[in-house]
Structure 1
């Protein structure tokens, strides 16, 4: 098939550009490598019962707003509503809030995103 690489060449190229897995949608004659079910299973969150209906503490990172600083993305604590900046932000206030309070779960506070993260179990909820 035009434009397809053999499995060894595809593996070498994907490895050299930092891809650990690749698919073969464009090259159906090469069967994709499918990880075992064990590798696909993430640990379960054991803290989902701590999720509360919360009110955001601010429309931006509480601490960054007070400092006059900036953030990249926002997270909202699902225990108390604290809004903090993500770990891509220089201040990492959401993680600092978790360490100070042990509130385990944050939700993305970005428009169009609907995911939660459990700090304790290091998994999506």
Structure 2
């Protein structure tokens, strides 16, 4: 199933891939603070430490998120379930420097990681039943 999801995503044209990315919420953004994220997204962001950011880190993340979105046309996407807040902030700053044709495949790889982790959680929870 993981391979099929990856194949489907890879088969999309660049505009379709960018569309997938535009559907993602901003990390540590308004949706996390207001509790309107999906349960999965909220759990991943909380575990990564994004709900308990120091004010300076929160300001930096908001600024970088906005700059990233202005540059690429979609929010910064990283698999929060495989990263902590320091790694997320570092990756956001580093990936902002990428050219758009380099960044799109990197962001899509992160979407695939998110899909795989969530699929594995679903399967693991079914096995425990």
TM-score (norm 2): 0.24
Max Rg structure = 1
Q: Quick one: higher RCO (CA 8 Å, sep 6+), 1 or 2?
A: 2
Higher helix proportion = 2
Structure with bigger strand share is 1
- TM-score, normalised on structure 1? 0.24
